[in-house]
Amino acid sequence: MMAIALLLVGLPRQSWASMTNGGEGIGVVDSNAKLIRQVFDSALVSGRAYPMLRDLCKKAGHRLSGSEGAARAVLLMRDYLQGLGLDCVWLQPVMVPRWVRGAAEQGQVLTGDAEPYRLRMLALGGSVGTGPAGIRGEIIEFGTLKELEEADSLQVTGRVVFLNKPFDQRFVSAFGSYGGCIDIRFDGARLAAAKGAVGVLIRSLTHTLDTFPHTGSMQYGNASVKIPAAAVSTVDAEWISKTLLRLKKIGKRPKVEFTTFCLQLPDTLSYNVIGDWYGSDRPRAWMVVGGHLDSWDVGEGAHDDGAGCAHSVEALRLLKAVGYKPKRSMRVVLFMNEENGTRGATEYARWSAASGEKQLIGLESDRGGFAPREFSSEATAERIQGLQPWLKWLEPYGVYAIRKGGSGVDVGFLRPQGTELYGLVPESQRYFDYHHAATDVFESVNRRELELGAASMAALLYLLDQEGPVK
């Protein structure tokens, strides 16, 4: 589009707006509608989430717990919060695990051809390394953990298990596809070791067919033997699978060899970064908004979860910028160590329970910096029903629903305190193009989509504070 003359003739000026998500006409004009309009105007014209995210991505960089990047991110975001004029900005100490990748992974498949096939791979977070000697073994493929568990140990012993479970594309929610596959990453090594495997390769958890490996956390549980585990790109996964089939026909089985140099160092000191904004009426009742400050050690953690940090900080900045004075106290918490330990969330939950101060609301953004669409809530069905009239204030901005659903990993630790939990739900289709991969960089985030997310968070916080009643 567009042949302009015709559009201008055919449609009134208004229609340009009404052509998309809700248009600019706000049906309800009351004080809530006015304040929320101010918040969105401010976000779209002069929002700071996007430049904040650029700083976090480019000045701190990726920031796995215990890394230098994480330390830079703590100071950067503390300084940023201090610049907002909140009542108190503080660092909450927390001991975090420190897993390091070390030298880059190298892996190749040996098929008997002149040249081996070089794999694009990343060790899984928490995995032991192979060291310079590497490991080497015949590849045996399984489509699911169930297949692996049902396999004869004799088939698996001494081999490298290849877990090739593709995303079920039928989920409209991208997270649905992810949820169906995370078991291979999380439990694959433990189960393969129990069958005598010497290593594990998994197919990267993504919808796309590309050459980027996606890392993420795994655990050994109470396994007596820890074997190295890594993810290969989906293109490589497809190649391995086809090659296994091809060679099987001539009675051969390819070998894989790879080296990883990752290791677990002693726990180290890090911090949750916290900014408090005292409420006028119920200062000891807290509305917590946050994302996680740590990321995986590839890319820049832009969508996961730099975006959530930017959303959360900017939500408070926007409310301040339009002159709002909260009744309850608001607190932004940038949680450390969501990715591989959730120590930050654990510590904040412990501390806040001990403080005796009510953790009224927990709102998390940890699903990327895409255009907002919904809020999820872990509140009761009755309470959620009671919130539906609020949609008249949110729908003009493309937030169509408040719906039962999980909130977020970090604020989820407040569940035992009876905290009412919410999550921002942006458009999900592209999330796993970037998730835990080198592609998750600042440039993958759209300015307006990010700022709209921040404004949506601010609007919900405002409504929760203003419209209550929350007990």
Site for a copy of itself, residues 132 to 171, rule: CB under 8 A: 169-171
Integer Cα distance of 69 and 120 in angstroms: 24
User: Counting contacts by CB under 8 A, is residue 297 touching a copy of itself?
Assistant: no
Q: Judged by CB under 8 A, which stretch of 48-56, 100-108, 179-187, 237-245 contacts a copy of itself?
A: 179-187
Question: Least separation, in Å, of the C-beta of 51 and a copy of itself?
Answer: 12
Interface with a copy of itself in residues 263-282 (CB under 8 A): none
Q: Which of 367, 467, 364 is nearest to 420 (CA)?
A: 364
Q: Judged by CB under 8 A, which stretch of 141-149, 178-186, 230-238, 271-279 contacts a copy of itself?
A: 178-186
Q: x/- string (CB under 8 A) for a copy of itself, residues 299-328? A: -----xx-----------------------
Compute the radius of gyration of the chain from its Cα atoms: 24
Exactly one of 257, 347, 420, 433 binds a copy of itself (CB under 8 A); that residue is 433
Question: Least separation, in Å, of the C-beta of 297 and a copy of itself?
Answer: 15
Q: Judged by CB under 8 A, which stretch of 92-100, 188-196, 277-285, 420-428 contacts a copy of itself?
A: 420-428
**What are the phi and psi torsion angles at 151 (to 5°)?**
-75, 150
Interface with a copy of itself in residues 351-370 (CB under 8 A): 366-367
Count of residues touching a copy of itself (by CB under 8 A): 83
Exactly one of 83, 155, 429, 468 binds a copy of itself (CB under 8 A); that residue is 429
User: Counting contacts by CB under 8 A, is residue 7 touching a copy of itself?
Assistant: yes
Return the number of the residue (119 or 333) whose C-beta is nearest a copy of itself. Answer: 333
Exactly one of 75, 182, 225, 247 binds a copy of itself (CB under 8 A); that residue is 182
User: Counting contacts by CB under 8 A, is residue 434 touching a copy of itself?
Assistant: no
Q: How many CB atoms lie within 10 A of CB 263?
A: 15
Exactly one of 105, 338, 347, 420 binds a copy of itself (CB under 8 A); that residue is 338
Return the number of the residue (317 or 367) whose C-beta is nearest a copy of itself. Answer: 367
Interface with a copy of itself in residues 370-409 (CB under 8 A): 371, 373-374, 376, 396-398, 400-401, 403-406, 408-409
Exactly one of 130, 164, 206, 208 binds a copy of itself (CB under 8 A); that residue is 208
Question: Least separation, in Å, of the C-beta of 409 and a copy of itself?
Answer: 5
Return the number of the residue (67 or 407) whose C-beta is nearest a copy of itself. Answer: 407
∠ CA 5-9-13, nearest 5°, is 100
Side-by-side strand order, sheet with 401-404: 88-100, 263-277, 328-335, 282-292, 358-364, 420-426, 372-377, 401-404
Interface with a copy of itself in residues 40-99 (CB under 8 A): 40-41, 44-45
User: Counting contacts by CB under 8 A, is residue 216 touching a copy of itself?
Assistant: yes
Q: Judged by CB under 8 A, which stretch of 15-23, 101-109, 154-162, 229-237 contacts a copy of itself?
A: 15-23
User: Counting contacts by CB under 8 A, is residue 250 touching a copy of itself?
Assistant: no
Q: Judged by CB under 8 A, which stretch of 63-71, 93-101, 325-333, 429-437 contacts a copy of itself?
A: 429-437
Exactly one of 252, 255, 327, 430 binds a copy of itself (CB under 8 A); that residue is 430
Question: Least separation, in Å, of the C-beta of 83 and a copy of itself?
Answer: 23
Question: Least separation, in Å, of the C-beta of 266 and a copy of itself?
Answer: 20
Return the number of the residue (143 or 176) whose C-beta is nearest a copy of itself. Answer: 176
Exactly one of 116, 176, 196, 386 binds a copy of itself (CB under 8 A); that residue is 176
- Per the document, the length of the chain is 471
